[in-house]
Amino acid sequence: MLRRILTRLGPADAAVLGPGDDCAVLRTSGDLVVTTDTMIEGPDFRLAWHRGFELGWKLAATNLSDVASMGARPVALTLALACPRRTPVGLLEEIASGLDAACRSLAPGCGVVGGDLGTAPVLTGAVTALGDLEGRPPATRSGASPGDVVAYAGDLGLAGLGLSLLFRDGTEPDGTAHDRALARLREEHPAALTAQLAPSPPIALGAEAVRGGATAMMDVSDSLSLDAARLARASGARVSLDSQRLLAGFGLQRGERVPLEAMLTGGEDHGLLATFPRGARLPGGFREIGEVLEASGPEPAARSGKRDDVRVDGERYAPRGWDPYSLPLPGA
C-alpha cells in the first residue's frame, strides 16, 4: 500500500532525505514554521461528496494556507492517514495524487516527505506542514494597529456557499448523498463546489504580504467575521468591515453570485486576511475591505457578555461561521 502511494508523490526540494526512514531530513535557509490540521470523515468532509483526488487536494491546501499566513514558503508536508479496513487502496492512491497535485500547483517545490498509515472507524487524515521564513519575520495575528487597512486575498464566501448547496440539494432526507443531485450541483455551481471540495488558496501571496509590510495576517478558515474577531482580540483592537467594498470585490466570483452574509459567515475558503499600514501599496491580489480601530472602552467583555471586536458598516456584528461541532453527522 505504501509503495503504491509513494509512487504518486513527488519529492520536496528541501528534502535531503525523503520517505523511507524513521524521519525525513530537510534543509532550509531560515526559521521553520510548523502547523498541523486534522480532517475527519463526518464533521470535516463527506466521502459521498468528495472524490479522492479532491480530498487529497483539500488536505494539502488547508495546511499550505496556514503556512502562507505566517509569511513562509511551504517546503514539506507529512500525512498520517487512518482508514477503515474496507477502504479500497485505489481511494488512498487518489488521495495521494490530489496531495501531490495541490503541492505542485499551489506551492511548487513543496512535497510529502513522510507520514503514517493506520486503521480507524472512519477515514481520518492529519497533515503537518512546514514552511521556511527565508529570513523574514513571521506574520502573526497580534500586530495590527489602529489606522491600518484591512485587506483580503483569495475566494471569500464561495466555499461556505458550496457547503450550503450541498446540504440543501446534495442529500436525501436521511442525509445520504444523491448522485444525480450532486452531479447537477457540480454542473450548475462549479465555482462554489470547487471552492468547498478542493479550495485553491493564494499561497504565494503570504510571503508577498510580508514583503509588502503586512502588520498582521491569518488564514481565514472558519469565516471572515470569526477570524477577524480573533485577529482583533490578538492585536488589542477592533476590525471594521465595509460591506460595499466586500460586495464590490467579492460579490461576483468566477460567475457565482456571493451574498454578503456568505462572505461574513462562510468558512473554508482559506484566503488570507491581512492588515497593512495606511498608505501602503497592497500586494497584487489583496483588496481593501475595512480598517483597524482602537479597542472599545474599558468595559470588560467577561462581565458584559458582549464583545465589540468586529463591526460592519459601523454597527456591532456578532461573528458566526464554520463550527464542525454544530453540523449534523451523516444519517443523523
Instruction: Considering only residues 326 and 168, tell me which one the structure prediction assigns the higher pLDDT.
Output: 168
Domains of the chain: 2-132 (3.30.1330.10), 149-321 (3.90.650.10)
- Return all residues near 38 (Cβ < 8 A) that are at least 6 apart: 44, 124, 125, 126
Instruction: Considering only residues 181 and 194, tell me which one the structure prediction assigns the higher pLDDT.
Output: 194
Q: What is the pLDDT of residues 136-151, one digit of tens each?
A: 999 999 999 999 999 9
Residue ranges for the known binding site for ATP are 115-116, 141, 221
Annotate 117-163 with three-state secondary structure. EEECCCCEEEEEEEEECCCCCCCCCCCCCCCCEEEEECCCCHHHHHH
CA torsion, ordered 26, 37, 140, 314, to nearest 10 deg: 160
Is the torsion defined by CA of 102, 107, 113, 117 positive or negative?
A: negative
What's the distance, CA 215 to chain centroid?
20
The model's pTM is: 0.90
Q: What is the pLDDT of residues 59-109, one digit of tens each?
A: 999 999 999 999 999 999 999 999 999 999 999 999 999 999 999 999 999
Given this model, what pLDDT does residue 243 score? Answer: 98
For residue 244, pLDDT beyond 50: yes
Interval 204-226 mean pLDDT: 97
Residue ranges for the known binding site are 22, 35-37, 44, 66, 115-116, 141, 219, 221-222, 268, 322
Residue ranges for the known binding site for Mg(2+) are 22, 35-37, 66, 116, 219, 222
Given this model, what pLDDT does residue 304 score? Answer: 41
Give CA–CA dist 62/302, Å, rounded: 32
**What whole-number percentage of the chain has pLDDT above 70?**
92
Q: What is the pLDDT of residues 285-300, one digit of tens each?
A: 999 999 999 997 554 4
Residue ranges for the known binding site for substrate are 44, 268, 322
